[in-house]
Structure 1
């Protein structure tokens, strides 16, 4: 790929402000800022101070984040113009305006992961899969992470701020860890951040609205296709693998990841056959476990 194409370029703000795009996606507001600590943190503050200004599917994106935050309070910083950093306000209600139960909110980050996977495949020509709970992988390396945060309001409503960070033009030396990757490193059709952002928001809005109109039922058909539950499981690299689930409080479970339950939690069966429900935490994919043999030796290969 030409070196010029790998250099980060500013988002096309005129294209992002195109009313045809915004209306088609159902996005009432899309703000672009040059630099910020964290789009999620900014939106959490904005929603709390002026909720009427940030309605459902309002978007904030930044050219440069200096204090991005992920799960387990991890922080990182990417070079300017090298990533898609975007947060969306979600106030999930069905077609009649009835709020979705908060126990369905665990699926929102998975909707984002599916939408981003579809974007990478269709727009950039890159095959991707999901790692529970909400990472997107390409050939086993992390290309994007997603973080959902609740924003409880004084009126009792609980909006969600959903942040997504996609590595776009980061070179090997820019990556935060050796197990990460970026769009440019995967021989893509494009590294145009505006195209990638618009595609992601369009995919996400379609899946999200369909999910809301199904009252947050992950088993319902979604956007003219299979259910969210089936879509997620079909592209979830974690399922079928031996994993170590690192849980809050320094606990861990090692076992076989078998499926997702109706809330998107990961079910892990340990070597004694006990099934554990993992609702939060970090998951590490392990090499396959070798069952006990006649010599009495066992363990993970």
Structure 2
């Protein structure tokens, strides 16, 4: 078993299965391309929607076997071996069933929606239980397995400002190949499969279903969607950040330490500090802290994980 993890099998994505007309049409995917190598799928699509917007309609998908200049939040750079990850970006032009653009304030939910879709794909395809970490990470047993980055594209002709949503999922990275000790991969979590094609198809199908339901609800996170609870409730249910003591690192070298209580209507994290003041965290990194007991209390927070 150790030898298998040292040199995992890394076949290419099955472009025939991904490009199947039936699969694409069933999920409203406009087009899907796979490239062998690129700097960044997000950067490629952002450039594309800038140069020729009409060539990149809603749900245009670009996947890469290898990225040399992938970036995450706060311009963090990472690089993974070829064919070891699912690296995919999607162009989104959010409109409802009547073609009316969604309010741009609803865009803040798109990365959480993507994380939710990826969580479902991991559970149902690989049998891996995952949770979400605000604002855009997917964790398995406390370790990061995937990250998501949403970037706003140019207004262009003034119709609908596009969003490019990038997802990076560690699939066959070995322990030695992980970027940090707090990361993990599908391979390392006793999966039912490490088939990247199956994982990508599952993710795209679940994302498309949730996304279309969200758009048809005019971007209302409190509306029931896809035959079940609202996006707001679904995300809060699997958001491991809630109930934790956190340190929110904000732009401008500011930070807040407190108790993460809930999400507001815009997907922002609400954090209550030691003085009882509630702060709205709209952007920035959040670190989950170890359990602590406030002064004068006895084990008041000992139940935290």
Smaller-chain TM-score bracket: over 0.9
Q: Distance in 1 between matches of 2:210 and 2:68?
A: 30
Q: How many residues align?
A: 294
Q: Distance in 2 between matches of 1:154 and 1:55?
A: 13
How far the C-alpha of 1:289 sits from its partner, in A, is 2.5
Quick check: 1:6–1:191 contact (8 Å CA) kept in 2? no
> Which residue is 2:44 aligned to?
42
Aligned match for 1:272, one of 269, 272, 275: 275
* Correspondence list, 1:77-116, <5 A: 77-116=79-118
Quick check: 2:49–2:154 contact (8 Å CA) kept in 1? no
> Which residue is 2:302 aligned to?
none
Quick check: 1:137–1:143 contact (8 Å CA) kept in 2? yes
Q: Distance in 1 between matches of 2:191 and 2:215?
A: 32
Q: Distance in 2 between matches of 1:275 and 1:28?
A: 43
Q: Deviations over 1:64-113 (max 9, x none)?
A: 01111000110000000000000000000001000000000000000000
Q: Deviations over 1:17-46 (max 9, x none)?
A: 101100111101001100001000000001
How far the C-alpha of 1:7 sits from its partner, in A, is 1.7
* Correspondence list, 1:17-28, <5 A: 17-28=19-30
SS of 2:89 mapped into structure 1: strand
Aligned match for 2:141, one of 126, 139, 142: 139
The answer for unaligned runs of 5 or more in structure 1 is 295-301
Q: Distance in 1 between matches of 2:93 and 2:296?
A: 53
Q: Distance in 2 between matches of 1:281 and 1:7?
A: 37
* Correspondence list, 1:209-248, <5 A: 209-248=212-251
Q: Distance in 2 between matches of 1:286 and 1:53?
A: 45
> Which residue is 2:261 aligned to?
258
> Which residue is 1:290 aligned to?
293
> Which residue is 1:32 aligned to?
34
> Which residue is 2:4 aligned to?
3
Q: Distance in 1 between matches of 2:71 and 2:100?
A: 31
> Which residue is 1:130 aligned to?
132
> Which residue is 1:64 aligned to?
66
How far the C-alpha of 1:293 sits from its partner, in A, is 2.5
Is structure 2 residue 196 aligned with structure 1 residue 189? no
How far the C-alpha of 1:267 sits from its partner, in A, is 0.1
How far the C-alpha of 1:158 sits from its partner, in A, is 1.0
Quick check: 1:143–1:183 contact (8 Å CA) kept in 2? yes
Quick check: 2:134–2:239 contact (8 Å CA) kept in 1? yes
Quick check: 1:100–1:212 contact (8 Å CA) kept in 2? yes
How far the C-alpha of 1:47 sits from its partner, in A, is 0.8
How far the C-alpha of 1:154 sits from its partner, in A, is 2.8
Quick check: 2:15–2:34 contact (8 Å CA) kept in 1? yes
TM-score where L is the length of structure 2? 0.95
Quick check: 2:128–2:140 contact (8 Å CA) kept in 1? yes
